[in-house]
Structure formats: C-alpha cells, structure tokens
Amino acid sequence: ARQSWGYQDHNGPEVWHELFPLANGDRQSPIAIKSSEVKYDPFLRPLSFSYDLTSPKVILNCGYAFSIECDDTEDRSVLRAGPLKGSYRLRQLHFHWGPTDDYGSEHTVDGLEFAAELHVVHWNSEKYPCFVDAAQQPDGLAIVGVLVKAGEHNSPLQKVINVLDVIKTKGSQVAFTNFDPSSLFPESLDYWTYHGSLTVPPLLESVIWIVLRQPITASSEQLATFRSLLCSAKGEPACCLLSNCRPPQPLRNRHVRAFFH
C-alpha cells in the first residue's frame, strides 16, 4: 500500500490530496490571518474554560507529533462561550513546530510565522456521543490555537518537555497527569475565530478555530527538544521529526472574526 502521510517530500502536505481529497476543500486549515481583513464581532463572548488537572492521562508520540491525551469519558474539562454554542469537551493537546525557530506555526499573522503552535482540541459533547462522530460534523470540534515564539524559557511547558526523552520513538507513550492545559495559555484570551479543518489527515472540515492573539514563548532549547522526537518506530532507522507544520490554505469564501477591537 502507498506510504501513509507525513511531512517529508514524498508524503507531505503537497501530496496529501492524493490520498485525502479534502486537502483541496473550501474550509481547510491553517490560514494566514490578515488583521486588516478581520471583522470585529460584538456578539462574540469571552472564552470560558474549566479544566480538571486529572483529565490528562498519557503523553504519546503519534509519529507526526506528541500529544497529551485526556480522559474524555465525561464532562470534566470543557470549553464554553467564545464563538461556541454549548460546551466542548477537552480531548487532547499537541504542538506543531519547524526545523528552526524561524518558522513552525501553522497559522500565520500578517505574514509572520512563529516558531511553533499549540493546539488544544475539544469536541461538542452536548450534540454528539463521541469525538469520532463529532469530527464528522461542521460544528463538531473546537480547537484553541496558541502561537509560540522563541524567547523566554516557559516553565509550565518544561513539565511536558521533561518526558519527551521517554517517548522518543513513534508509538511510545508514558503516563502524564496532574497537568492544567490552561497553564500554557497567554495572559490575554483575545482571539480570532473562523470555520476550518483538522490540519493533518483526515483534514475533516469540522473545526471552529479559536486562535489566540497573544503568543506564548518557549526557549530555543525547549523548541530544539521537540525536534529530537523521532517519527520512526523502535528498531527502525532513526528519523527526527524536524517539522510537522502545514502551510496556510486558501481562505476561499470565509471571514475571520475578532473578539477584540
């Protein structure tokens, strides 16, 4: 069978459409946010989230990133309000990064690329019975995107970085709990919002994106640790996951709304 997808030339974002035709859809993510073209929407509300420290359960190397997987069998950690109707249950959080500190975010702002990007993934547990079902619906998922720029050491992030050496190879995982995902949020919860998709295959167009305006920082050393993860499994020739960011996709017939003036 054809190689599965990845981030190298032979299986990366430029050829995903061969296996996943949605890649050329009309509400794909990420996008290039142009602040001059966003529209302030007075009906948008402040974001409201409440995360239970014990929701995170494991951290795993899924081959294209590492993700902190949460127990989403009940409504213990939820995101509400903002652009959302109802409440969205926390599922997992993960990062995207690039080969150097000069780029690696997925969303860009006024042409600016950041070093990395955090995605906090939630699904509409009021309307749908599980994540997989919600992922098939236009209002099924809500993902908070946090831009990461190279700079000061990030101490809440260090708790995550400290375990990456234990999940070096694809498919490895380790227990990871007593962690508050909101400890990674910036002080301001100002955001842009638009309707988009998953940024990796299956690229489903089921995401209400909430991109925070204020970036967080991470040190160059912390960012370098991301790149030391392997996309190869144990026993395979080592292949570093140097980059796992998809470039911005056409905006097509979409508008980006701002919560702030």
Ligand X SMILES: NS(=O)(=O)c1ccc(C(=O)NCc2cccc(O)c2)cc1
Residues at the interface with ligand X (CB under 6 A): 119, 121, 132, 135, 143, 198-200, 202, 204
Nearer to ligand X, 123 or 176 (CB): 123
Report the residue closest to ligand X, judged by CB: 119
135 binds, among ligand X, Zn ion, none (CB under 5 to 8 A by kind): ligand X
Q: How far, in Å, CA of 45 to CA of 82, rounded?
A: 4
DSSP 137: S
The minimum distance between CB 37 and ligand X, in angstroms, equals 22
- Which of 8-16, 25-33, 112-120, 222-230 is the region at the interface with Zn ion (rule: CB under 5 A)? 112-120
Q: Is residue 27 near Zn ion by the rule CB under 5 A?
A: no
Q: Which residues of 44-78 are buried (b: 16+ CB within 10 A; e: fewer)?
A: beebebebeeebbbbbbbbbbbbbbbbbbeeebbb
Q: Please choose which of ligand X, Zn ion, none residue 33 contacts, taking the beta carbon within 5 to 8 angstroms, the exact cut-off set by kind.
A: none
- Tell me the number of residues near Zn ion by CB under 5 A: 1
CB 196 within 8 A of CB 205: yes
Counting contacts by CB under 5 A, is residue 119 touching Zn ion? yes
Given the complex with ligand X, which of 153 and 252 has the nearer CB atom?
A: 252
User: CB under 8 Å to 39, separation ≥6 — which residues?
Assistant: 255, 256, 257, 258
Cβ proximity to ligand X: between 135 and 146 the closer is 135
Q: How far is the CB of 132 from ligand X (least distance, A)?
A: 4
Binding partner of residue 93 among ligand X, Zn ion, none, CB under 5 to 8 Å per kind?
A: none
Q: Residue 189 or residue 198: which is nearer to Zn ion going by CB?
A: 198
* Residue of minimal Cβ distance to Zn ion: 119
User: Smallest distance, Å, CB 88 to ligand X?
Assistant: 13
| Kind of pairing between the strands at 39-40 and 66-70 | unpaired
Q: Which helix (H) or strand (E) holds 93?
A: strand 87-97
Whole-angstrom distance, CA of residue 83 vs CA of residue 205: 17
CB 186 within 8 A of CB 210: no
Q: Footprint of Zn ion on this chain (CB under 5 A)?
A: 119
